[in-house]
C-alpha cells in the first residue's frame, strides 16, 4: 500500500534551485540563435520539420554539476513540434486560453478555467486526471507569464501555485474536496511548464519543457502505483504536444 509522503523543506528548496538555474538558462537564450532546443540539434529539427514530435529527457546542470533532489523525484521533459501554416499569434492564443484546456488537452485535463488575466499575466485552475487501476485527480493552481521577444518569438513561463490531491477521485461531485496535506501521497508536488514559440519556415516551431517534482520511488514495489505516478510527467508532456498538434493539423 502506498503511504503518505510529505514534501520536505530541503526537497522543495532543491527543486526551487533547479528551477532558478533552468530559468536563468532560458532567459540567456532569449535573444540568441539557439533560442530553440532544435536550433542546436539539427537531426531532431529535421525530424520535427518533417512532422514528427520529438520528446526527450533534459537535465539542468549548475556550473557543470548535477543538482541533487533529496527525498524527491524531479523529471524534466522537452517536447518539440513544427506546425506547418500556423502563426505565432494563433499558437500563442491557444496556449494562453487556459479556460479551454479541458477541450485542447482532454486526455489530461478534465476541468479548466481562467481565474484572472492581465495583459501578460494569467492565473488559472486546471484539474488533472491520470487514469489507471487507481485513479488520480489533482487540483492545480497555475500562474503564467507571457513575453513577446520580437515579432517572431515568444515565451510562456507557467508555474503551479497549488497542487492538491482530490480526496475521492472516483466521485465527480466531490472533486473540490482535497486530501489534508499530511495525508497526500506525493503524486505531483510541483509543476513548471515553459513554452518557446518561434515563427519561421512557413510555420511555427513550438517547444515545451515540463519539470515536475513528486515523491521518490525508492522503497516501493513495482505495481499500479509505481507505474502510474512515475510515468505521469512524461505522459503529460506527450499529451500536451499531442493536443497542440491536433489543434494545428498538417496542411495537405
Q: pLDDT tens-digit profile of 137-146?
A: 999 999 999 9
**The pLDDT of residue 71:** 93
**The pLDDT of residue 226:** 45
Please state, in angstroms and rounded to a whole number, the distance separating the CA atoms of residues 62 and 17: 9
Extract long-range pairs of 199-204: CB within 8 Å, 24+ residues apart. 199/86, 199/87, 199/88, 199/152, 199/153, 200/152, 201/49, 201/82, 202/84, 202/85, 203/82, 203/83, 203/84, 203/85, 203/86, 204/82, 204/83, 204/86, 204/87, 204/88, 204/90, 204/91, 204/248
**The pLDDT of residue 172:** 87
Ranges of the chain with pLDDT below 50: 1, 219-227
**The pLDDT of residue 184:** 86
Please state, in angstroms and rounded to a whole number, the distance separating the CA atoms of residues 108 and 110: 7
**The pLDDT of residue 192:** 98
Domain definitions of the chain by residue range: 9-247
Q: Minimal CA–CA distance to 154: which of 117, 191, 123, 194? A: 194
Superfamily of domain 9-247: START domain (3.30.530.20)
Instruction: Give pLDDT tens digits for 25-45.
Output: 999 988 777 899 999 999 999
Cβ atoms of 79 and 54 within 8 Å: the answer is yes
- Length of the chain, please? 252
Amino acid at each position: 500500500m502506498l503511504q503518505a509522503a510529505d514534501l520536505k523543506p530541503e526537497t522543495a528548496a532543491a527543486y526551487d534551485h533547479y528551477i532558478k538555474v533552468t530559468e536563468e538558462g532560458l532567459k540567456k537564450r532569449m535573444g540568441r540563435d539557439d533560442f530553440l532546443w532544435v536550433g542546436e540539434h539539427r537531426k531532431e529539427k529535421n525530424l520535427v520539420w518533417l512532422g514528427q514530435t520529438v520528446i526527450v529527457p533534459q537535465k539542468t546542470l549548475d556550473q557543470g554539476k548535477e543538482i541533487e533532489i533529496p527525498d524527491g523525484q524531479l523529471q524534466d521533459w522537452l517536447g518539440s513540434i513544427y506546425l506547418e501554416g500556423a502563426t505565432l499569434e494563433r499558437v500563442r492564443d491557444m496556449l494562453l486560453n487556459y479556460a479551454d484546456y479541458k477541450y485542447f488537452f482532454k486526455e489530461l485535463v478534465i476541468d479548466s478555467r481562467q481565474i484572472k488575466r492581465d495583459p501578460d499575466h494569467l492565473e488559472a485552475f486546471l484539474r488533472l486526471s491520470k487514469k489507471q487501476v487507481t485513479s488520480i485527480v489533482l487540483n492545480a493552481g497555475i500562474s503564467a507569464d507571457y513575453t513577446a521577444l520580437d515579432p517572431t518569438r515568444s515565451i510562456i513561463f507557467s508555474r503551479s501555485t497549488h497542487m492538491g490531491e482530490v480526496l475521492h477521485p472516483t466521485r465527480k461531485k466531490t472533486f473540490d474536496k482535497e486530501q489534508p496535506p499530511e495525508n497526500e501521497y506525493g503524486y505531483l508536488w510541483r509543476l513548471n511548464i515553459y513554452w518557446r514559440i518561434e515563427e519561421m519556415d512557413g510555420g511555427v516551431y513550438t517547444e515545451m519543457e515540463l519539470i515536475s517534482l513528486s515523491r521518490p520511488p525508492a522503497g516501493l514495489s513495482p505495481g499500479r502505483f509505481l507505474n502510474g505516478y512515475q510515468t505521469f510527467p512524461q505522459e503529460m508532456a506527450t499529451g500536451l504536444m499531442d493536443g497542440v498538434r491536433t489543434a494545428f493539423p498538417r496542411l495537405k
